[in-house]
Amino acid sequence: MTALFTVIFVNQWEEDKNHIPALIGLGTSALCLMAFGPSDFILPSMALIVLALTFLKKPMGEVENG
């Protein structure tokens, strides 16, 4: 499974010019991993990723268009 997610991440990194969503995902996952441990970090990190992307949707769109 790890290899699958790595391939998907690298593929999207190469295709997109805007790397902010990928960096948000990596950062929030790392923070939640340190805060909650390896057995309990998935749900909090997914929730934080969704919240961050929701709140930053408009500024990220301006970065892509401008």
Q: What is the pLDDT of residue 17?
A: 87
Tens digit of pLDDT per residue, the chain (66 long)? 789 989 988 998 999 888 888 999 999 999 999 999 999 999 999 999 999 999 988 776 766 665
**Cβ atoms of 65 and 49 closer than 8 Å:** no
**Cα(62)–Cα(45) distance, integer angstroms:** 25
Q: What is the pLDDT of residue 59?
A: 75
Q: What is the pLDDT of residue 36?
A: 96
Residue corresponding to tokens 């998935």? 42
Q: How many residues does the chain have?
A: 66
Q: What is the pLDDT of residue 63?
A: 66
Q: What is the pLDDT of residue 5?
A: 86
SS3 at position 56: coil
